């Protein structure tokens, strides 16, 4: 229940709507209070008329008719008013719950975007999605229906029971006695139903992930002729789903008969005890009818109490899960208030970094300086820490010890957005959105024009490829479109980085699937674009970095060689070995 306090700010935001809703619930209940009394009156009139029948001559009959018409009109008018206000109450309370749902979803989504990459490594995507969809909709059930029914219950009880007691306290006691049993029974049944539907839900997501995996891996399945295996796997999961669903349906089927039985019992009690009381002359015949209607009016709200209790429990559990994420703080936060001018030399000073989840020390006391406008090449085996170094520079992670400075200022003290804006970072794994080629390039700079997109494509060496597609820049890529080759993807990612006109270029092995000549062309284009642009080129290919002003060779997180191409060749160690080996390979 504690967890639900988080929602108070939303109640406050929509307080007028909420209070209006409560008022409408009250009014609709007041309108519902009188018709049962009128119906009781009608019974009394008829019973009186029947006992006077012998002495009557027709005048009584027309009088009775008029009275009946009058009461019939009242019942109708009150029912219409009640209905109208019920409409209003749903319009306010349920609409409020939808508005809060919308706000909450946006709040969670915004918070997700602020969180650091490490958060996404710790938590599964499915979990993230569930909390923003499934859990939020459970919370909405609390905000809407649960609040609506609870208020309705409180108001109808506090209006109807005094009214009943004013007619006959004894009959009230008897008529209401089965209700507590009803509440407990319904609470038990809905708890069982919740547990079972939870199980069904889990099986359903298992089923969908099986089919999703099959569809995305369809090429492998077909080429290994494993269709039967996939089919059996799906069938087993579907069979399990069916069994679990049937077990839920059984409990579901019990729900309504149980309710009807208990309501019937109340009615039976009322008529029996009421009949005895009427015979004894303590109450009028019409009062029995009034009571039967009141009991029926109370049954639904009271029955919903059991249902509401389980909704609130589920909402509290869901909100707790949501809060867990909302309380996560981004590890990398902007400390600055104003903008920063990102310019100058990049300086690594004894930078070390260990991945907290694996304990792998990826970088050990790395120091180097990249002068403004110069190019540095970083080379090393897989796992030597090259990508880690790039991520530290973009502040995707922060170093454990040592400092990274740009223009003499520690990057921790620079405006984070400005820093990332200045960095033309092309990550090792290119990620493209299922969208047009144009939009994928323009993603780097939301308000660029078509010329800029074309220019970026030319510089990234992908323009001629795009021109060959039938729809050119409007070609859709990804799941619903064409599949690009690895090299095409890489060059598109580069175009996306270039369009932002960044001050620094940071290429993390993003030309590995491009042939050497194209690579050289692209690097030349980038160098030509601006003389003052500093470049960091990470590559496993010595040929791509041989023109760099400075080359660093990494091995197990340490710098083992440092200098320009000629120096390193003269040293005749690791770099020279890699270069010669790759030179020989490229000849074949
Ligand atoms: N997200 C991560 N969590 C834990 N360990 C990681 C992570 N990323 C990389 N590593 C480890 O850090 C080391 C350096 O990795 P990386 O910088 O990706 O090397 P490179 O880019 O040179 O191939 C490797 O041993 C790798 O296993
Ligand atoms: Mg890497």
Q: What is the DSSP string of 72-127?
A: HHHHHHHHHHHHHHHHHHHHHHHHHHHHHHHHHHHHHHHHHHHS-HHHHHHS-HHH
Sequential DSSP letters for 512-542: TTS-HHHHHHHHHHHHHH-TT-EEEEE-S-H
Instruction: Let me know how long the chain is.
Output: 588
pLDDT in tens, 505-547: 888 888 877 777 777 777 777 777 766 788 898 988 888 888 8
**The two structure tokens encoding residue 350:** 């004894």
Kindly tell me the burial class for residue 265, based on how many C-beta atoms sit within 10 Å of its own C-beta (0-12, 13-18, 19 or more): middle
Q: Quick check: CB of 131 below 6 Å from ligand 1? A: no
Pocket test residue of 117, 366, 385 for ligand 1, highest count of atoms within 8 A of CB: 385
**The two structure tokens encoding residue 235:** 């069938």
How far is 296 from 263, CA to CA, in rounded Å? 7
CATH domain 346-587 topology: Rossmann fold (3.40.50)
Average pLDDT of the residues in 159-164: 90
> Considering all CA atoms of the chain, what is the largest pairwise distance in Å, rounded to the nearest integer?
133
How many A from CA of 444 to the centre of ligand 2? 22
Q: Quick check: CB of 360 below 6 Å from ligand 1? A: yes
Q: What angle do CA 458, 462, 464 make, to 5 degrees?
A: 85
> What is the predicted pLDDT for the residue at 246?
92
Contacts of 513 (CB under 8 A, 6+ apart): 485, 486, 487, 489, 490
Contacts of 194 (CB under 8 A, 6+ apart): 310, 314
Report the candidate in 69, 79, 67 with the shortest Cα–Cα distance to residue 36: 79
Q: At residue 55, does pLDDT exceed 60?
A: no
> What is the predicted pLDDT for the residue at 331?
76
C-alpha neighbours within 13 Å on the C-beta side of residue 71: 18
How many A from CA of 428 to the centre of ligand 1? 12
Confidence of residue 242 (pLDDT cuts 50, 70, 90): very high
Average pLDDT of the residues in 42-47: 86
For 118: left if phi > 0, alpha if psi spans -120 to 50, otherwise beta; the answer is: alpha
Q: Quick check: CB of 386 below 6 Å from ligand 1? A: yes
> What is the predicted pLDDT for the residue at 87?
93
How far is 21 from 95, CA to CA, in rounded Å? 10
Query: What is the domain partition of the chain in residue ranges?
Result: 2-326, 346-587
**The two structure tokens encoding residue 43:** 């019974």
How far is 389 from 400, CA to CA, in rounded Å? 12
CB atoms within 10 A of CB 445: 17
Q: Quick check: CB of 539 below 6 Å from ligand 1? A: no
> What is the predicted pLDDT for the residue at 171?
87
- Highest average pLDDT, of 65-79, 492-506, 527-541, 562-576, comes from 65-79
Q: Quick check: CB of 357 below 6 Å from ligand 1? A: yes
Q: Quick check: CB of 382 below 6 Å from ligand 1? A: yes
Do 483 and 432 contact (CB within 8 A), yes or no? no
Q: At residue 239, does pLDDT exceed 90?
A: yes
How far is 128 from 115, CA to CA, in rounded Å? 12
> What is the predicted pLDDT for the residue at 481?
63
Instruction: Look at 5-19, 68-82, 223-237, 563-577 and tell me which has the smallest mean pLDDT.
Output: 563-577
Do 314 and 194 contact (CB within 8 A), yes or no? yes
Report the candidate in 569, 497, 566, 561 with the shortest Cα–Cα distance to residue 535: 497
Report the share of the chain in percent with pLDDT over 70: 97
Closest ligand to residue 382's CA: 1
- The residues that bridge with 401 in the sheet, in sequence order, are 352
Q: Quick check: CB of 362 below 6 Å from ligand 1? A: yes
Sequential DSSP letters for 412-453: GGS-HHHHHHHEEEE-SS----SSBHHHHHHTTSTT--HHHH
Q: What residue has token string 């960095």?
A: 423
Contacts of 476 (CB under 8 A, 6+ apart): 434, 435, 436, 482
> What is the predicted pLDDT for the residue at 406?
86
pLDDT in tens, 319-352: 888 888 888 887 777 777 777 777 888 888 888 8
How many A from CA of 387 to the centre of ligand 2? 4
* Residue owning the nearest CA to atom 18 of ligand 1: 387
Average pLDDT of the residues in 489-497: 86
> What is the predicted pLDDT for the residue at 534?
85
pLDDT in tens, 349-363: 888 898 887 888 888
Report the candidate in 297, 318, 326 with the shortest Cα–Cα distance to residue 141: 318
Query: Which atom of ligand 1 lies at the shortest distance from residue 390's CA?
Result: 17
Do 294 and 270 contact (CB within 8 A), yes or no? no
Q: Strand pairing of 346-354 and 534-538? A: unpaired
> What is the predicted pLDDT for the residue at 362?
85
Question: What's the whole-number average pLDDT of the chain?
Answer: 84
How many A from CA of 385 to the centre of ligand 1? 6
Average pLDDT of the residues in 63-87: 90
179-216 and 285-326 are packed helices; what angle lies between their axes, rounded to 10 degrees? 40
Pocket test residue of 119, 331, 360 for ligand 1, highest count of atoms within 8 A of CB: 360
How far is 543 from 551, CA to CA, in rounded Å? 12
How many A from CA of 533 to the centre of ligand 1? 28
Kindly tell me the burial class for residue 147, based on how many C-beta atoms sit within 10 Å of its own C-beta (0-12, 13-18, 19 or more): buried
Report the candidate in 148, 149, 194, 190 with the shortest Cα–Cα distance to residue 318: 194
* Residue owning the nearest CA to atom 12 of ligand 1: 362
Q: At residue 76, does pLDDT exceed 90?
A: yes
35-52 and 59-114 are packed helices; what angle lies between their axes, rounded to 10 degrees? 160
Do 342 and 425 contact (CB within 8 A), yes or no? no
Q: Which CATH superfamily is domain 2-326 in?
A: ABC transporter type 1, transmembrane domain (1.20.1560.10)
Q: At residue 57, does pLDDT exceed 70?
A: no
- The residues that bridge with 505 in the sheet, in sequence order, are 424, 535
Q: What residue has token string 């969670």?
A: 108
Do 482 and 470 contact (CB within 8 A), yes or no? no
Confidence of residue 54 (pLDDT cuts 50, 70, 90): low
Q: At residue 84, does pLDDT exceed 90?
A: yes
How many A from CA of 389 to the centre of ligand 1? 10
pLDDT in tens, 407-460: 888 888 888 888 888 888 888 887 888 888 888 888 877 787 878 888 888 888
pLDDT in tens, 182-210: 788 878 888 888 888 888 878 887 888 88
Do 512 and 582 contact (CB within 8 A), yes or no? no
Sequential DSSP letters for 200-211: HHHHHHHHHHHH
- The residues that bridge with 354 in the sheet, in sequence order, are 361
- Highest average pLDDT, of 74-88, 277-291, 450-464, 474-488, comes from 74-88
How far is 47 from 210, CA to CA, in rounded Å? 70
Helix (H, G, I), strand (E, B) or coil at 380: strand
> What is the predicted pLDDT for the residue at 77?
94
Pocket test residue of 117, 118, 331, 355 for ligand 1, highest count of atoms within 8 A of CB: 355
- The residues that bridge with 482 in the sheet, in sequence order, are 477
Q: Quick check: CB of 28 below 6 Å from ligand 1? A: no
How far is 325 from 365, CA to CA, in rounded Å? 34
How many A from CA of 353 to the centre of ligand 2? 15
**The two structure tokens encoding residue 337:** 């208030």
Contacts of 107 (CB under 8 A, 6+ apart): 326
Q: At residue 387, does pLDDT exceed 70?
A: yes
Q: Quick check: CB of 359 below 6 Å from ligand 1? A: no
């Amino acid at each position: 229940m504690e967890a639900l306090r988080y929602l108070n700010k939303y109640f406050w935001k929509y307080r007028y709507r909420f209070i209006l809703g409560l008022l409408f619930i009250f009014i609709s209940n007041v309108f519902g209070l009188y018709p049962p009394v009128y119906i009781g009156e009608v019974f009394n009139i008829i019973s009186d008329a029947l006992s006077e029948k012998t002495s009557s001559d027709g005048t009584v009959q027309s009088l009775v008719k008029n009275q009946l018409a009058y009461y019939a009109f009242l019942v109708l008018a009150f029912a219409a008013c009640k209905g109208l206000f019920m409409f209003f109450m749903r319009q306010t309370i349920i609409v409020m719950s939808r508005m809060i749902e919308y706000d909450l979803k946006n709040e969670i989504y915004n918070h997700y975007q602020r969180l650091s990459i490490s958060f996404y490594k710790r938590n599964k995507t499915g979990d993230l999605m569930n909390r923003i969809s499934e859990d939020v909709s459970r919370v909405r059930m609390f905000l809407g229906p649960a609040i609506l029914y609870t208020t309705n219950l409180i108001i109808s009880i506090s209006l109807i029971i005094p009214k009943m007691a004013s007619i006959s306290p004894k009959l009230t006691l008897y008529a209401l006695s089965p209700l507590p049993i009803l509440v407990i029974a319904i609470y038990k049944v809905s708890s069982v139903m919740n547990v079972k539907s939870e199980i069904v839900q889990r099986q359903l997501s298992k089923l969908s992930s099986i089919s999703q995996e099959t569809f995305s891996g369809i090429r492998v399945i077909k080429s290994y002729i494993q269709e039967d295996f996939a089919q059996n796997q799906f069938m087993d999961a579907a069979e399990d789903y069916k069994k679990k669903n049937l077990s839920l349906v059984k409990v579901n089927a019990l729900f309504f008969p149980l309710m009807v039985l208990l309501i019937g019992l109340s009615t039976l009690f009322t008529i029996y005890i009421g009949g005895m009381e009427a015979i004894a002359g303590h109450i009028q015949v019409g009062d029995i009818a009034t009571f039967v209607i009141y009991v029926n009016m109370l049954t639904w709200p009271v029955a919903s109490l059991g249902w509401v209790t389980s909704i609130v429990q589920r909402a509290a559990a869901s909100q707790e899960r949501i809060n867990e994420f909302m309380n996560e703080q981004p590890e990398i936060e902007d400390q600055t208030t104003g903008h920063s001018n990102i310019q100058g030399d990049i300086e690594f000073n004894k930078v070390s970094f260990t991945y907290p989840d694996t304990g792998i020390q990826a970088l050990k006391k790395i120091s180097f300086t990249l002068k403004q406008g110069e190019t540095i090449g970083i080379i090393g085996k897989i796992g030597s820490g090259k990508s880690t170094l790039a991520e530290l520079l973009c502040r995707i992670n922060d170093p454990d010890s040592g400092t990274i400075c740009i223009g003499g200022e520690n990057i921790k003290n620079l405006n984070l957005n400005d820093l990332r804006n200045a960095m033309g970072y092309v990550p090792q794994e290119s990620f493209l959105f299922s969208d047009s080629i144009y939009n994928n390039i323009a993603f780097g700079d939301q308000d660029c024009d078509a010329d800029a997109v074309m220019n970026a494509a030319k510089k990234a060496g992908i323009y001629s490829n795009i021109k060959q597609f039938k729809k050119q820049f409007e070609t859709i890529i990804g799941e619903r479109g064409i599949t690009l080759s690895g090299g095409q993807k890489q060059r598109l990612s580069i175009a996306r980085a270039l369009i932002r006109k960044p001050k620094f270029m940071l290429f993390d092995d993003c030309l590995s699937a491009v042939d050497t000549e194209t690579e050289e062309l692209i690097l030349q284009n980038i160098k030509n674009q601006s003389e003052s642009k500093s470049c960091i080129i990470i590559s496993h290919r010595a040929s791509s970095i041989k023109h760099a002003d400075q080359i660093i060779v990494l091995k197990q997180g340490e710098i083992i060689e440092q200098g320009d191409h000629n120096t390193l060749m003269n040293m005749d160690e690791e770099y020279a070995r890699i270069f010669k080996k790759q030179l020989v390979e490229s000849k074949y």
